[in-house]
Chain A
Amino acid sequence: EVQLVESGGGLVQPGRSLRLSCAASGFTFDDYAMHWVRQAPGKGLEWVSGISWNSGSIGYADSVKGRFTISRDNAKNSLYLQMNSLRAEDTALYYCAKDRSSSSWYRGDAFDIWGQGTMVTVSS
């Protein structure tokens, strides 16, 4: 079964850091670009970051550029999001998502597989 399972969310104070993980199974992980998408409570979807199959190309939303770092370990079939200098507005459910057919995050495709998400709450 194709599956993405996120972990690492929790309650964190403003200015602190958190690292999210996404474990992939059921498909050849290093064939595809991967992404993080977030959804604030009661709000819409916001793309956060994407990474190509070999980590050679990476992109970020302006709202997180310079604070968040995406990475992947193909040997472990895992995707990560290091979140630094967290703000209240980063509070959201964070989803890991797979590109449908592309290995490049830039010239990519729609997201055909999503994880269940991990909740991040930034509050003092």
Chain B
Amino acid sequence: DIQMTQSPSSLSASVGDRVTITCRASQGISNYLAWYQQKPGKVPKLLIYAASTLQSGVPSRFSGSGSGTDFTLTISSLQPEDVATYYCQKYNSARTFGQGTKVEIK
């Protein structure tokens, strides 16, 4: 089975900072990669699919890149409302999630 590994597991950054989260697949998955945001006590929300396509309604400060085994989620200017846990997910065959990255404000 393909494993998804995120790093870091948590981070603390200041408002306005550029934040980068990495997701690595144990085998190549082309661009079958999504990113989700889950705020405390809330339902997960789709941010990005096909590795780099922004879901409708998602702020443009969020972006995704990568293909094959290495992927990145970037928040260009961190806002207070971005405090959440972020998950990557592969979606070719079995849907496997990364372990999550918790983002906090410094």
Contact = CB atoms under 8 A, between A and B. Distances in A.
Contact of B87 (A44, A115, A117): A44
B20 interface: no
B69 interface: no
A73 to B, nearest CB: 22
A112 B55 contact: yes
A116 B96 CA distance: 20
Contact of A114 (B43, B55, B85, B99): B43
Contact of A110 (B34, B85, B96, B100): B34
B60 interface: no
A100 B89 CA distance: 13
B43 A111 contact: no
Interface stretch (A15-23, A45-53, A81-89): A45-53
A27 interface: no
A114 B34 contact: no
Contacts of A32: none
Interface in B14-60: 34, 36, 38, 43-46, 49, 55
Given A110-B49, A112-B46, A47 B97 contact: yes
Nearest to B87: A45
Interface string A92-110: 0001000010000011111
A11 interface: no
Interface of B: 1, 34, 36, 38, 43-46, 49, 55, 85, 87, 89, 91-100
